Chains A and B, each alone.
Chain A
Amino acid sequence: MDKIILAIPSKGRLEEQSRKIFLEAGMEIKRAGGARSYSGELTGFDDILVRFLPAGEIARELVKGNIDIGITGVDLIHETAENAINSVVLACELGFGRADVVLAVPDGWIDVTHMHDLFDVASDFRVKHGRWLRIATKYVNLTRKFLAEHGIAQYRIVQSVGATEAAPASGVADLIVDISSTGSTLKANGLRILENGIILQSEANLIISKSSEWTPAKRMAIAQILDAIGIMEK
């Protein structure tokens, strides 16, 4: 029968915590060739193939259906495509990897505390500065959706790959949308989260792909795993 592909973050705390979740449920994840290997197995479940991948790639592959089940952040699922969240089932929040996707402005913008202030600033920006208000982010889809909800259309997104928090200081953008877990990085860069500027509260989830092929045998196997972890199959 077809094997179920389970994807686990390939390094750091996310990997450790993911292993722990399975271990507590009595399942040990073995990484075949040591820490450098990309594949492994779940003891006691012959039908499961474990893959070690970066968290962002797990999100993309879940949405595409190339892996069946995996652990990654919800924010990363949203970022793969506008409606990507419809291609997966969030089976269970795991209580680690917590981080918020937030909108933050320079601390000196004392007149901007809420999204409706940003709405006013965006409205007037072009007339005052001869260009659109610029927002640096790697969360393009989440940003567009959130700003549309607040009626803000007059802005441009500057796609950033790394160190988004430095964009206002380097003059690349006026404000940012970024991930923040403690807020200390933002603070160190002279940025402040708006009072209603939390776009998404994200944490690591056990996520099942809707796009992959679910044969009856695979369904049964997955039900066993979920059951072991203590989740009812939806």
Chain B
Amino acid sequence: MMQQTDKLNLLNNLLAMRAELINVPILLEANMFFELAGEEFGRKLLLTSGANNVEYCLRPEFTLAIAKKFLQENKNSAAYGYLGPIFRQHENGPKEFIQAGLELLNQENQDDSLTQIFTFALEAIKIYNIKPVIRLGSVELFADILTQINIPKVWRPRILHRFGQKEIINKLLERLADPQQINAGSLPWKKEELIRVVSEQMLNGGISLSASRTPEEIAARYIEKQELANSKVPKEIVFLLQNYLNIRGEAQKTLLDIEYLAKQNNINIEKSLFRIKNHIEKLKDNFSPENIIFDAGFSARLDYYTGIVFQISKENKILASGGEYNRLLERLGADKQINATGCSVWVNRLNALNNFDKTEEFIRV
């Protein structure tokens, strides 16, 4: 029987075939993760403070550092591969995992990139003789629907921000249908007057009128809130979104349901639907149809994902995940969206399924 180190070598070969293998330092500045992903990801970091008063963390993943390197080196396009340990804080303390992955940046054709990513993930899992299930989602499909339905414009980015978090997006949708009524009390109704009142209150508390939210901004949102309170989003629209987000099942059938829903509501989703259908067609070479799931409400929780996203799992354990995240490089300072496609593979879980490592504790590379 093949040893786990042999399998790691095979994984390494898979990466080397497709990409330049690169190394990312294990000790990284923590701030870049906080800046990109906020406090929620921050709580997963293993932090330490330097004598220089800078906060560092142990590498929690590879993608961000790789994307930064790409920008710093001013490359036009790149294919990077990685394999090594990552460190995360868990409920019962810190844990070390091994991740392997691929990042394809600014490639000519993103559909080809995604196909390559799928192929890599599947070949990686094949090394371990595992027959997994794939779950797909599409951020662009949801964005298409959101931009074509009749809701006040301010809600769109707020809804999109919460895409992928079912419970939280549902709470937001309930608010659309039944917005909070405002008790204006003694507040004036004219914008200039509101600005004056807000400015006074802030100055009384010694709070700067420009360092944080400005009186203008506060008054504007106050008025917006009043307007929203008076303009409920029609129930049908909220139902449509709720229905869409709950669609989940065998991909082929599910996409037909979505097509029907869109047609009924005069929404054009042709382009994004065509893409996902094509990829599903290709995935059939490796998965039986019942093992390809499309989940309309599924997305990674980070808001730089833009297109198709996926998770490959076995017995509810995620073995590989990734997708298209064209907003990442822009968020890191690029002057426009740049296509980026990638995935990471959880090597410990593959090993665990092979019974190499029942506890999922560490293995040395």
> Which of A's residues lie within 8 Å of B, judged by CB?
82-83, 106-111, 114, 116-117, 119-121, 123-124, 127-129, 132, 144, 147-148, 151, 153-157, 168-169, 171, 174, 189-191
Indicate whether A108 sits within 8 Å of B38 (C-beta atoms), given known contacts A123-B161, A168-B212.
no
- Bound complex: CA A168 to CA B225 (Å): 24
- Bound complex: CA A154 to CA B225 (Å): 20
Binds A, one of B71-79, B197-205, B240-248: B197-205
Does chain A have a CB within 8 A of B194?
Answer: yes
Q: Tell me the minimal C-beta distance from A160 to chain B in angstroms.
A: 15
Cβ-Cβ contact count across A and B, 8 Å cutoff: 108
Kindly identify which residue among A110, A174, A189 contacts B187, using a CB–CB cutoff of 8 Å: A110
Beta-carbon nearest neighbor of A109 in chain B: B218
- Bound complex: CA A132 to CA B43 (Å): 16
New contact pairs (13) apart from A106-B202, A116-B172, CB-CB < 8 Å: A108-B218, A109-B198, A110-B197, A110-B222, A111-B222, A114-B180, A117-B225, A120-B221, A144-B43, A151-B165, A153-B38, A171-B212, A189-B206
Q: Do B157 and A123 touch (CB < 8 A)?
A: yes
Inside 8 A of B40's CB, which chain A residues have their CB? 144, 148, 153
- Bound complex: CA A227 to CA B168 (Å): 46
Inside 8 A of B34's CB, which chain A residues have their CB? 156
| 20 CB < 8 A contacts A-B | A108-B198, A109-B213, A110-B197, A116-B172, A123-B158, A124-B157, A124-B158, A129-B212, A129-B213, A132-B35, A144-B43, A148-B40, A151-B172, A153-B37, A153-B301, A157-B39, A157-B42, A168-B212, A169-B208, A189-B205
> Which of B's residues lie within 8 Å of A, judged by CB?
34-35, 37-40, 42-43, 91-92, 157-158, 161-162, 165, 167-168, 171-172, 175, 180, 187, 194, 197-202, 204-208, 211-213, 215, 217-219, 221-222, 225, 301
Q: Do B38 and A132 touch (CB < 8 A)?
A: yes
Summarize A's interface: helix, strand, loop or mixed. Answer: mixed
Kindly identify which residue among B158, B194, B201 contacts A107, using a CB–CB cutoff of 8 Å: B201
Indicate whether A144 sits within 8 Å of B180 (C-beta atoms), given known contacts A107-B201, A151-B171, A171-B212.
no
Inside 8 A of A151's CB, which chain B residues have their CB? 162, 165, 167-168, 171-172
Inside 8 A of A107's CB, which chain B residues have their CB? 201-202, 204-205
